[in-house]
A = this chain, B = another copy of it.
Amino acid sequence: MEWINDGNLDFLKKRKVEAKEEAQKSVASIISNVKTGGDEALKAYTKQFDGIALEAIRVTESEIREAAARVPEQVLKAIKQAAQNIRAFHEKQVPQSWTETVDQGVVLGQKVTALDSVGVYVPGGTACYPSSVLMGAIPALVAGVKRVVLVSPPQKNGLIADGVLAAAREIGIHEIYQVGGAQAIAALAYGTESIQPVDKIVGPGNLYVMLAKKHVFGDVAIDSLAGPSEIAVVADETANAGWIAADLLSQAEHDRLSMPVLVTTSQAFGKEVEQEIEKQLKELPRVEIASASVNNQGKIILVKDIQEAAAAVNQIAPEHLELATNDPHEILPLIRNAGAIFLGKYSSEPVGDYFAGPNHIIPTNGSARYASPLGVDSFIKHSSIIEYSDVALQANGQAIAAFARFEGLEGHARAVEKRMKGAVIHG
């Protein structure tokens, strides 16, 4: 962990990972080939990148059932309980349509509609993330999206991971395709013989998935561009150094580029956490990844008071933020930029990653400055409602026409004036 004692957070400027032009070109070519080649292109790329010769692109019902049967009972139970909690939280996010009658019989409002179809990308390869299935798909289901599709690359055994299929089955998702990478994003955006295109693509993935999402953005919607993830913990000497070290390591074990940051008012506490990290690190199975993260990205930022702590957090705009001080509610109002905020000593980050209910697909890489966790609002859109009365049109028509004419849009002015009683129609 690198100590920062002078408030200089310039390390944040180096966070952005510039995508290499080569990777961008490769992604553009994959997308173009899937557009023209369809299923055959998907199969060729799956052979090339995943080493798997797919027979069918869609996972069958019996494959889903058999995979779920291989998952331990205890894990299935945890998936079920997590799904319930995630559903309950997201149900509180559902927005309602509204209309309101304002002056002169004018009705204005918003009509809320779910998207028709959504694709959820679930990372695969050597990893297995059933939690990503729940977090990506449940908000869409709660929003009322009728078609929720899952894509995930096949593992070395030629199948999507059992846990991923089990989680999909638990929440009632049956349209699942065993393709990953940029080719899966292209298929979801433009369609192939097997895969109908969707309106929006969500879910985290590797650099190629991210570049592909950026490429298709505008033809379909995407959630956000996921980058390396962060945790910032604000803690004082009342916190348990062993617990805080474990939380920082839980972020570090994700990825070499993960950034674990401790912000503390106490140098002694910071040193204690540092020692705990060193101790616990050695005993972690993913010690190699976690060490790289801790050594290259890890920071301990020493601050004077909670104002300085909050200022540092707001500059970092972390994906995850733990407030583990004696009175976390004292700092909370000062926090402007953070994806998910964990308060108090029992709110360890993994509680939110898996179980509590709020989403774990959260803005990374400082984008909590302007973005929100995935939620029901990611899967609905609203339409404005405007119903003007005759009275209101007569009363305001002149102002509207004057405004339009000033902008040089005579046709706009005339469309209104034609409806005005006794108005002089120009032209």
**Residues of chain A having any CB pair with chain B under 8 Å:** 16, 71-72, 74-75, 77-79, 81-82, 88-89, 92-93, 98, 100, 102, 106-108, 110-111, 113, 115-116, 127-131, 163, 199-200, 214, 217-221, 225, 242-243, 246-247, 249-250, 252-254, 280, 283-286, 290, 321, 328, 332, 335-359, 362-363, 367-373, 375, 377, 381-390, 392-393, 396, 399-400, 402-404, 406-416, 418-419, 427
Q: Cβ of A386 and Cβ of B350 under 8 Å apart?
A: no
Top 5 closest pairs, chain A to chain B, by CB: A358-B384, A246-B415, A350-B412, A221-B370, A78-B399
Q: Quick one: given A283-B427, A400-B355, are A339 and B16 in contact (CB under 8 Å)?
A: no
Query: Which of chain B's residues have a CB closer than 8 A to the CB of A286?
Result: 408-411
Which of B81, B363, B414 sits near A246, CB closer than 8 Å? B414
> What are 6 contact pairs spanning A and B, CB under 8 A?
A106-B356, A111-B335, A115-B370, A351-B400, A351-B416, A375-B382
Which among A128, A353, A393, A413 has the highest number of chain B CB atoms within 10 Å?
A: A353
Distance in angstroms from A185 CB to nearest chain B CB is 15
Q: Look across to chain B and name the residue whose beta carbon is closest to the beta carbon of A246.
A: B415
Cα–Cα distance between A302 and B220 once the two chains are bound (Å): 28
Q: Cβ of B344 and Cβ of A388 under 8 Å apart?
A: yes
Q: Look across to chain B and name the residue whose beta carbon is closest to the beta carbon of A71.
A: B406
Q: Quick one: given A106-B356, A402-B74, A411-B246, are A347 and B128 in contact (CB under 8 Å)?
A: no
Cα–Cα distance between A289 and B98 once the two chains are bound (Å): 37
Cα–Cα distance between A411 and B247 once the two chains are bound (Å): 8
Q: Cβ of B356 and Cβ of A410 under 8 Å apart?
A: no
Q: Cβ of A82 and Cβ of B403 under 8 Å apart?
A: yes
Q: Cβ of B340 and Cβ of A419 under 8 Å apart?
A: no
Q: Cβ of B75 and Cβ of A415 under 8 Å apart?
A: no
Cα–Cα distance between A203 and B408 once the two chains are bound (Å): 19
Q: Look across to chain B and name the residue whose beta carbon is closest to the beta carbon of A397.
A: B351
Which of B81, B131, B339 sits near A384, CB closer than 8 Å? B339
Q: Quick one: given A199-B370, A283-B427, A332-B111, are A351 and B388 in contact (CB under 8 Å)?
A: yes
Beyond A335-B383, A348-B388, 6 extra complex contacts between A and B, CB < 8 Å: A72-B402, A78-B400, A78-B402, A346-B389, A354-B403, A373-B384
Cα–Cα distance between A281 and B89 once the two chains are bound (Å): 54
Which among A74, A345, A402, A407 has the highest number of chain B CB atoms within 10 Å?
A: A407
Query: Which of chain B's residues have a CB closer than 8 A to the CB of A367?
Result: 218, 221
Q: Cβ of A390 and Cβ of B89 under 8 Å apart?
A: no
Cα–Cα distance between A106 and B357 once the two chains are bound (Å): 11
Q: Look across to chain B and name the residue whose beta carbon is closest to the beta carbon of A161.
A: B407
Distance in angstroms from A32 CB to nearest chain B CB is 11
Q: Look across to chain B and name the residue whose beta carbon is closest to the beta carbon of A328.
A: B387
